[in-house]
Structure formats: structure tokens, C-alpha cells
């Protein structure tokens, strides 16, 4: 494709802007998602951010992941937030989590994209001895994290990932969690002061009821000293998350590829067994009525019956029969006829669709990227390109926002956002 000089200039300007965002949000070894709203290191944000740094500073890209794994707990758990420095601009901070770790961390995890990111980093580089060393040093840590998922996040042995907090899914207020969280007892939550709504329009953020539930679930974890076995078996929120499950399945495939590059043959069988277990168990998430993969509440056994952006991660995970894939492509066709820009976080035909409210409608570049990668891998190149071009247009027309309204293209959440800048540099731009 040839660009006109003006669009070339525009791309260069946006490239420079994206790099400047990453540099501004760099706190020395780790990058904050957005300096005002999210002043700490977030788990899956850092993984995506590494891909952005790879565009202009490969050393810094590896450092981002290495710093994240410095906060890994002894049992392999990798926290969703690392509180390297105090900052009163975010709630709930380290003292609310009270996880007794150094550095201070939260007590929940996030979607495990690190293995896949390390593979992309390796594949996109010169395969130098230094990068091989760094990959080799990270590999056992990632394996340990995946083992933690296998041991502590699959209490029913289905090969699926059980999320114990909506924040863990990275899709905090997805309507998928409304029903599973409705049983959470919020009577002891007490009063607290949110910080997010002093930075951002409350209409774009989760509600007070959502936050009461988030905090009640944190209290449960804290009361159980962050014993992840107890939490996954008896906690007030337990959902087989379609997003985390698909992401872990792909991450295990990528981990196996890393093991092969590194010649860690003793690990092959274990990783292959994890892949096979999830592949065999995934159909439990398929909902015949809506014809899509949907998350499922473990407490009631109920499927969310909601088509979200995560439903399309089955391509990324490399699962789905031909018939299932056809149904999902038909959903993409239908959804794209209802809104202007893909990929909304919720089906616009669903009654809970809310175009500006966080994970209830807006497009998020990182999930769109993962879905596009999967579509490309599965031979759906036209769809993959459509998702890329839509994401590029949203950024070009609006800026590097946290997320975007799929109807108007307006930005929602924080601006000058690290992972959106990273996705521009690595993929969309
Ligand atoms: C809670 C940092 C994070 C992302 C999540 C996104 C949002 C936090 C919040 O911001 O969650 O983890 O306070 O809203 O939902 O995906 O990792 O960008």
C-alpha cells in the first residue's frame, strides 16, 4: 500500500506522539498506564507496553517485563498491580490490599499475556545472544506463573481459568459480571473515597454498586490472607472467564514455542498437557443459544449468554469448530452493521450495551489487537485488517485514549494512554 505524503507525515507524527507517551509514562524500569489515573505498574498493561518499546528501544522493552516479574510471589503468582512507589491518586492503594509483600502488590492477577509478548519480542528482534539470555531468564518465571494458574485457578479441573475478582479479568465492569457479582455481600464495606471519578467523568466508569462489590471481594481475600486456593474454592465471585482462558491457552502455546527455542525438553509434556486440557474443556463455555463462547459463573453454573469482545478470542486461542467459527464471523458481520468502529466490548444488540461506559461497549485497542491476531492466524485476513484499520482511525481521529466509543469514535477514560500508544507502534499504525 502506498501512502500519500500527507498521510505519511501524519503517521510519523503519530509515531512520535506514541513514543513520547511511553517515555513520559516511564517511571524508570516500569511504565504507568496513565500518570494521573493509574500511577502504578499494571500486569497486562506492562506486557503490551513492552511491544510498544520494542519499536524504538528493545532493551527497555525487555526491562518492562523483567521489572514486572520482580514482583512475582514465591508460589508463582504475578500480581495485577505493583505499588513500587506510594501515590494517593489511585484507590484502592497498597494498604487496602494489605498483601504483606515487598514490593507491595495487590492480591489478584490479570490476563496472562506475558508469554505471548515474550515470543513476539523474540520473533521481532535480531535473536542476539543477549536477548536469548533475557528470554531464558524469564522463561522459568513465566512457567511458574502458568503452573500457579493450573494449581490455583482451576478448582473443578476443567482446564479453564477461574477469575476471583472482576478486576482480574481486565474487563472490570463487563455486564458478564453483573449476575455473578450480584450475590456478593456488600453490607460490611463501609465508606471509602474513590479517586477514579475525581479524574474522569463518572458516566464512563463503573458504578458505586460495582465498586462496593469490588471492595467486598478484596476484603474477602484480605481476610483469608490472600490464600488463593481458599479464594478460588469459596470466594464470593468465581467465574470461568472466557477472556483469561483463551489468553492462557494461547500463552501456553507460546510458552511451548519458547521452551522449544530454549531446548527445555523436560517441560514439553507438561505444557502440552495444559494446552490439551483447556482445548478439551473449552466447549463448556460455548453457548448454543447465542452461538458464541461466553463466560460462565461457577457458583450458579450459569452462562452469561453475552457476546463480548472476549468471545472472539477463540481465534487467538486456536479453538472452535468450523461451525462455531462461522457463527462468530456472522456475529462480527452483524455487529459491524450496527456501529461505526470495531471491536466493541459488548454486542450492541445487548440491552446492557453502553457505548461510553468502560467495558460495557467501548473499543479497547489491546483486545481488538489480540482478536485481530487470532483472525489473521486463522485465515480471516480481511477481518483482521478491518480491526486494524478501525483502531488506527480511532487513534488518528481522537488521540491515544484508554478506550473509544464505537458509535461516535469519542475517547473514553484516560488520555495519553500507554497501551494505546504501544498498540499504535506495534500494530495499528
Ligand atoms: C483496575 C490499567 C487497568 C487495566 C484494566 C482496566 C483498568 C483498573 C481500574 O485499568 O482497571 O485494575 O482501576 O479501573 O480495566 O484492564 O489493566 O490500565
Q: In the prediction, which pLDDT does 2 show?
A: 45
pLDDT at 8: 87
Q: How far is CA 374 from CA 48, 164, 308, 336, 363, in A?
A: 16, 26, 15, 18, 17
How far is CA 301 from each of CA 151, 154, 217, 276, 296, rounded to the nearest angstrom? 21, 15, 19, 23, 6
- Digit-by-digit pLDDT tens for the chain (429 residues) are 444 568 888 999 999 999 999 999 999 999 999 999 999 999 999 999 999 999 999 999 999 999 999 999 999 999 999 999 999 999 999 999 999 999 999 999 999 999 999 999 999 999 999 999 999 999 999 999 999 999 999 999 999 999 999 999 999 999 999 999 999 999 999 999 999 999 999 999 999 999 999 999 999 999 999 999 999 999 999 999 999 999 999 999 999 999 999 999 999 999 999 999 999 999 999 999 999 999 999 999 999 999 999 999 999 999 999 999 999 999 999 999 999 999 999 999 999 999 999 999 999 999 999 999 999 999 999 999 999 999 999 999 999 999 999 999 999 999 999 999 999 999 999
Instruction: Give yes or no for a contact between 130 and 254, defined as CB atoms under 8 angstroms apart.
Output: no
Catalytic choice (55, 64, 168, 172): 172
CA end-to-end distance (rounded Å), the chain: 13
Pocket test for ligand 1, best of 31, 42, 52 (most atoms within 8 A of CB): 42
Atom of ligand 1 lying closest to residue 206 CA: 14
Does the active-site annotation cover 354?
no
Instruction: Point out the ligand 1 atom lying closest to the alpha carbon of residue 45.
Output: 17
Determine the atom of ligand 1 nearest the C-alpha atom of 38. 2
Domains belonging to the chain, first-starting first, are 5-428 (1.50.10.10)
* Distance from Cα 144 to the centre of ligand 1, integer Å: 24
Distance from the alpha carbon of residue 294 to the mean position of ligand 1, in angstroms: 21
Pocket test for ligand 1, best of 22, 30, 33, 80 (most atoms within 8 A of CB): 33
- Is the complex ipTM more than 0.90? yes
Distance 37 CA to ligand 1 centre (A): 10
* Catalytic-residue membership of 402: yes
* pLDDT in the model for residue 6: 81
pTM: 0.98
Which atom, in ligand 1's list, is nearest to the CA of 171?
15
Amino acid at each position: 500500500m502506498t501512502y500519500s505524503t500527507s498521510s505519511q507525515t501524519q503517521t510519523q507524527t503519530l509515531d512520535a506522539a506514541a513514543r513520547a507517551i511511553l517515555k513520559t509514562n516511564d517511571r524508570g524500569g516500569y511504565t504507568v498506564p496513565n500518570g494521573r489515573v493509574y500511577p502504578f505498574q499494571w500486569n497486562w498493561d506492562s506486557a503490551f507496553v513492552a511491544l510498544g518499546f520494542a519499536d524504538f528501544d528493545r532493551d527497555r522493552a525487555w526491562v518492562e517485563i523483567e521489572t514486572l516479574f520482580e514482583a512475582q510471589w514465591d508460589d508463582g503468582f504475578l500480581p495485577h498491580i505493583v505499588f513500587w512507589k506510594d501515590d494517593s491518586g489511585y484507590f484502592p492503594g497498597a494498604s487496602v490490599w494489605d498483601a504483606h509483600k515487598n514490593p507491595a502488590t495487590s492480591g489478584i492477577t490479570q490476563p496472562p499475556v506475558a508469554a505471548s509478548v515474550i515470543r513476539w519480542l523474540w520473533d521481532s528482534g535480531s535473536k542476539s545472544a543477549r536477548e536469548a539470555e533475557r528470554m531464558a531468564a524469564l522463561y522459568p518465571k513465566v512457567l511458574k506463573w502458568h503452573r500457579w494458574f493450573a494449581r490455583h485457578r482451576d478448582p473443578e479441573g476443567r482446564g479453564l481459568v477461574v477469575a476471583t475478582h472482576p478486576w482480574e479479568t481486565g474487563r472490570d465492569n463487563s455486564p458478564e459480571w453483573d449476575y455473578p457479582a450480584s450475590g456478593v455481600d456488600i453490607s460490611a464495606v463501609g465508606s471509602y473515597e474513590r479517586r477514579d471519578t475525581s479524574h474522569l467523568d463518572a458516566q464512563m466508569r463503573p458504578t458505586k454498586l460495582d465498586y462496593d462489590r469490588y471492595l467486598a471481594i478484596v476484603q474477602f481475600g484480605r481476610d483469608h490472607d490472600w490464600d488463593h486456593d481458599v479464594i478460588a474454592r469459596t470466594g464470593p465471585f468465581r467465574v470461568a472467564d472466557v477472556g483469561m482462558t483463551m489468553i492462557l491457552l494461547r500463552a501456553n502455546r507460546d510458552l511451548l514455542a519458547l521452551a522449544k527455542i530454549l531446548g527445555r525438553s523436560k517441560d514439553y509434556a507438561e505444557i502440552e498437557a495444559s494446552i490439551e486440557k483447556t482445548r478439551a474443556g473449552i466447549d463448556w463455555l460455548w453457548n448454543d443459544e447465542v452461538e458464541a463462547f461466553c463466560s460462565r459463573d461457577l457458583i450458579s453454573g450459569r452462562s452469561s449468554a453475552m457476546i463480548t469482545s472476549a468471545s472472539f478470542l477463540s481465534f487467538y486461542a486456536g479453538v472452535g469448530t468450523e461451525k462455531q467459527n462461522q457463527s462468530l464471523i456472522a456475529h462480527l458481520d452483524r455487529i459491524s452493521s450496527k456501529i461505526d468502529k470495531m471491536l466493541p466490548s459488548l454486542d450492541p444488540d445487548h440491552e446492557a450495551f453502553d457505548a461510553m461506559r468502560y467495558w460495557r461497549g467501548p473499543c479497547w485497542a489491546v483486545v481488538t489487537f489480540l482478536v485481530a491476531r487470532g483472525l489473521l492466524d486463522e485465515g480471516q485476513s480481511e477481518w483482521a485488517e478491518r480491526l486494524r484499520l478501525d483502531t488506527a482511525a480511532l487513534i488518528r481521529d481522537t488521540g491515544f485514549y484508554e478506550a473509544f466509543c464505537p458509535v461516535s469514535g469519542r475517547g473514553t477514560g484516560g488520555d495519553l494512554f500507554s497501551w494505546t500508544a504501544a498498540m499504535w507502534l506495534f500494530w495499528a499504525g
